Amino acid sequence: MTQWLAALQTRRSVSARLLTGPAPDKAQIDTLLTIASRVPDHGKLAPWRFIVIEGEARATLGQAIAEIASRTQGITDPERLAVEHDRFTRAPLVIAVVSKASEHPKIPVWEQQLSAGAVCMNLLSAASALGFGACWLTEWMAYDAAARSALGLDAAERIAGFIHIGHASETPADRPRPELDQIVTRWQA
């Protein structure tokens, strides 16, 4: 078995709260984004883009998210606001994958959205290949108009995922995986 297949067979998500520094450097981030963008893309539309959230920008965004949570969800409990504030500082790097799917005469929106999902998966696999842990999250901010606006998304854009990347402070246990006979059928004429 090749190293690549072995890596794919053992890849697993690492909880964002278990990710520590250092963050990937600029060259590693460029590698991650280059690999992430090598996905099926019917029509070469690139119906996705990236927002790199690193350094102090993570806390600044977290403060904006906490303020939005307070304003739109009525959260006033200091502990809960602290959780909201810290959402982007749990990992040393967060990359938002933004879906830019739009109506097209030949390429269904669904295919464009699937391409954005493939970007997220490639980003997770690339992080693992570079020796990082990673976790794909959405959380409420992905579905909140004010939060999407704070991130600079336009009205038609959606968050496909926030990919948290860092070094795993501990090796997570693997979760049970479905048995193939439970998820595979064979079509017969």
pLDDT at 102 over 80: yes
Whole-model pTM: value is 0.94
pLDDT at 114 over 70: yes
Say how far apart CA 125 and CA 74 lie, in whole Å: 38
Cα 178 to chain center, whole Å? 23
Query: What is the pLDDT confidence band of residue 8, given thresholds at 50, 70 and 90?
Result: confident
pLDDT at 182 over 80: yes
Q: Are the beta carbons of 13 and 88 closer than 8 angstroms?
A: no
Check residue 7 and give its pLDDT: 82
Superfamily of domain 13-54+90-169: NADH Oxidase (3.40.109.10)
Q: Give me the mean pLDDT over the 160-181 stretch.
A: 93
Say how far apart CA 142 and CA 176 lie, in whole Å: 27
Q: Give me the mean pLDDT over the 65-90 stretch.
A: 93
Both tokens of residue 46? 């690139």
pLDDT at 6 over 90: no
Check residue 1 and give its pLDDT: 63
Query: What mean pLDDT, rounded, does the chain reach?
Result: 94
- For the stretch 11-50, pLDDT in tens is 889 999 999 999 999 999 999 999 999 999 999 999 999 9
- The CA-based angle 125-144-75, given to 5 degrees, is 110
Q: Give me the mean pLDDT over the 106-134 stretch.
A: 96
